[in-house]
């Protein structure tokens, strides 16, 4: 693995660690994120709208230029939504 790849992975891990700390410090974050995702999932630019709403309505901040960790988080939210819809 190259040094650049290791550095990128370390940055993603660091960002995800900060996010996990926020979720654990405020148990409403996860449910609020999912509520937001359900609300905007079918809109055009859903990822952008989801990120903006999460940033404005929770303690999680997702910058306009999404990092790899931000993209991973948004994709996980969409996976959870898909799992929810598969259950029904």
pLDDT tens-digit profile of 43-77? 999 999 999 999 999 999 999 999 988 999 999 99
The average pLDDT across 10-16 equals 90
Output the pLDDT for position 23: 86
Domain membership of residue 57 as a residue range: 3-87
Q: pTM, whole model, 2 decimals?
A: 0.83
Instruction: Say how many domains are in the chain.
Output: 1
Residue-wise DSSP of 22-64: HHHH-THHHHHHHHHHHHHTTSTTHHHHHHHHHHHHSS----S
Mean pLDDT of the chain: 91
């Amino acid at each position: 693995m190259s040094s650049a790849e290791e550095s990128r992975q370390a940055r993603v891990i660091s960002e995800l660690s900060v996010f996990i700390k926020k979720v654990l410090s405020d148990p409403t974050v996860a449910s609020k994120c999912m509520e937001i995702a359900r609300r905007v999932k079918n809109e055009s630019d859903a990822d952008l709208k989801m990120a903006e709403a999460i940033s404005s309505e929770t303690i999680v901040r997702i910058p306009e230029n999404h990092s790899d960790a931000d993209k991973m988080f948004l994709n996980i939210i969409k996976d959870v939504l898909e799992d929810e819809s598969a259950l029904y």
